[in-house]
Amino acid sequence: MEHTLAALAAFLGGELKGPPSLVIRGINSLDRATSQEIAFVAHKRYLAKAEASRAAALIVSPEWAHLPRPLIIVPQPYLAYARLAALFAPAPPRRVGVSPQAFLGQGVQVGREVAVAPLAFVGDRVRLGDRVTIGPGCVLADDVVIGPDTLLHPNVTVLERCQIGARCLIHSGVVIGSDGYGFVPTPEGHVKIPQLGAVVIEDDVEIGANCTIDRGALEETRLGRGAKLDNLVHLAHNVSVGEHSLLVAQVGVAGSTRLGKRVVLGGQAGVVGHIELGDGVQVAAQAGVVSSVPPGQVVAGSPAIPHKEALRVAGHLRKLPELAQRVKELERKLAELTRLLAKE
């Protein structure tokens, strides 16, 4: 695939500085770009690399418009990079049609230009929207619904009655609709509470490899539009994730907790059940959130407290041995003073 520099500038809505007919065959990092590839400068700390780069052209913000190189000048080079990378990305391999080596249940509805790979399993009454891609090894249980343009990478499991919206991207090993973890303790053992709800995933959601999303007990577990989950994230039954929230790798959210819109959970953070995190809440990596958090607040630590307070506590914590030493010294001095005064 190749594009002229002028075509790329037009695609990005950016300002062209340099030979319009220059041919660009790919995008790469400043270090690795060849003389046929374009690279981008997202921060001034990369300027030295930019000067040393062999790239054919650079995408820069207006402040670096003076660089003596073929340039495309845009307000947000990082966003431009994302868009150009999509342009140059190899088209995902899609073999349109339902493979004869897939298993197709009864009453399946298949949209236009759907690709169901060999060794995929599609249960009864499943509905696949237009241009859906189902990778090899995927299992869609009965009554699953997948919206148009959604891509399931290989070995994804979607259990009975779960629904996935349009333009979603589900990575390999993800399990959607496993039973929520609910038991009633009795002297004879734990009695299972059947999990009768489902999982509803709205449009434009991305779910990282080997995540597990449990179905609701009676109601639904829900991921809002545009939410993005990294790998190995666990969502328990009845959890609700707000639109455009970001859950970084290995996060766990316990049952019935509600995350607002644009919430960010850092890697390995945990959130207890039955609480609410308001819109825009940010949780630091490895934090343990044990109570509801009002909108916009940033929290850290385990148990989590406001981030600034957590930083202050952490700073003092590291000096705790010294503080203990100072207290010991105070005790010594005070005892000495008291002894002296007693003598007088």
Give me the active site residues, please: 237
In whole angstroms, what is the distance from residue 111 CA to residue 104 CA?
14
Q: How far is the CB of 331 from a copy of itself (least distance, A)?
A: 6
Q: Sort strands 305-306 and 298-300 into parallel, antiparallel or unpaired.
A: antiparallel
Residue 218: CB atoms within 10 A of its CB come to 12
User: Which CB atom, from 111 or from 121, has the smaller least distance to a copy of itself?
Assistant: 121
The span from the CA of 315 to the CA of 309, in Å, is 10
Residue 109 or 338 with smaller CB distance to a copy of itself: 338
Whole-number minimum distance, CB 205 to a copy of itself, in Å? 10
Q: Answer yes or no: are the C-beta atoms of 41 and 50 closer than 8 Å.
A: yes
Report phi then psi at 304, rounded to 5: -70, 140
**Considering beta carbons, is residue 68 or 224 the nearer one to a copy of itself?**
224
How many Cα neighbours within 13 Å face the side chain of 1? 12
CB of 57 to a copy of itself, least distance (A): 16
- Give 129 or 243: the residue with its C-beta nearer to a copy of itself: 243
Write down the least CB distance from residue 22 to a copy of itself, Å: 20
**Spatial distance between the Cα atoms of 8 and 5, rounded to a whole number of angstroms:** 5
What minimum distance in Å lies between the beta carbon of 20 and a copy of itself?
25
Give dist(CA 196, CA 199) in Å, integer: 10
Question: Among residues 156, 115, 162, 118, which one has the least CA distance to residue 139?
Answer: 156
Cβ distance to a copy of itself smaller for residue 139 or 277: 139
Q: Tell me if 234 sits within 8 A of 216, measured CB to CB.
A: no
21 or 341, CB closer to a copy of itself?
Answer: 341
Distance between CA atoms of 286 and 188, rounded to whole angstroms? 36
Evaluate whether 255 touches 183 at the Cβ level (below 8 Å).
no
The tokens of 243 are what? 């639109």
Cα separations in angstroms, 14 against 32, 47, 117: 23, 20, 40
Give the nearest distance from C-beta 278 to a copy of itself in angstroms.
18
